[in-house]
Structure 1
């Protein structure tokens, strides 16, 4: 199942199919017991370059390091990214820290030509998109 979902993302623009993206992320993250931060690095035509785990935290928090994310995006020559993390509580509601870290990342990445397309939070009960909620 994981392979089939990832294959759908690799065959076209990642941001073109919200449903495929959500299914893939939910399948791979919704039931983890600790917070995990991942980043989908995107290249030309918003195609997936890499899906990388950036940090693993506790059941209540994980480190989002904008400097390290931008550095890795530059290494990969990414032009865009989607930040993702899970909430083990099951509730995908973004915290004020989630919003602040995303805004910091977007401000750091923009002058370098890197677009932060979204920050998605995955929970067992669903997902939240900061872009969809107009928080970035």
Structure 2
């Protein structure tokens, strides 16, 4: 088990480096690989925010909260507050579904739209909300949900 944990840690580090070495929007597959390695097989939901500068370079990858097997509480105020603290021009929301199915719930869509609305008023763009599961990922932007 220790060898598996060490391998996962190494793979996470390599994919994180690949995701951070260029603007995220031009290195989307590296970002998805990193998120999948790190989040696809977690036993509980984890919500993170990727903070970007005006060139879409990663400023910070923040884990905001961890929840239960099917829920993690998100407060738009806290997401946007942290983005302001870091001077983020844009953010990408990310969370996982431990069930393996990355399909967005009604709650996922509502939270995304609420964060986007608050962010827009303060000049912080929500570029996407990616949901990661063992079977793949879903981009709410690509689905036309934000």
| TM bucket normalised to smaller | over 0.9
The answer to whether structure 1 residue 40 and structure 2 residue 50 are counterparts is yes
Give me the whole-angstrom Cα distance separating, in 2, the residues matched to 1:44 and 1:18.
17
Secondary structure (helix, strand or coil) at the match of 2:127 reads: strand
Q: Who wins on radius of gyration, i.e. which is larger?
A: 2
1:17 shift after superposition: 2.0
Q: How does 1:62-81 map to 2 (within 5 A)?
A: 62-81=72-91
Cα RMSD for the two superposed structures: 0.7
- Note the alpha carbon deviations across 1:18-77, whole angstroms, 9 max, x for none: 211110000000000000100101113010000011011000100121100000000000
Structure 1 residue aligned with 2:66: 56
Contiguous gaps of at least 5 residues in structure 1: none
Structure 1 residue aligned with 2:129: 119
- Note the alpha carbon deviations across 1:69-124, whole angstroms, 9 max, x for none: 00000000000000000000000000000000000000000121111000000000
Runs of 4+ aligned residues of structure 1 deviating over 6 Å after TM superposition are none
The alignment's TM-score, normalised by the length of structure 1, stands at 0.97
Contiguous gaps of at least 5 residues in structure 2: 1-10
Secondary structure (helix, strand or coil) at the match of 2:62 reads: strand
Secondary structure (helix, strand or coil) at the match of 2:55 reads: helix
Q: How does 1:80-119 map to 2 (within 5 A)?
A: 80-119=90-129
The answer to whether structure 1 residue 4 and structure 2 residue 14 are counterparts is yes
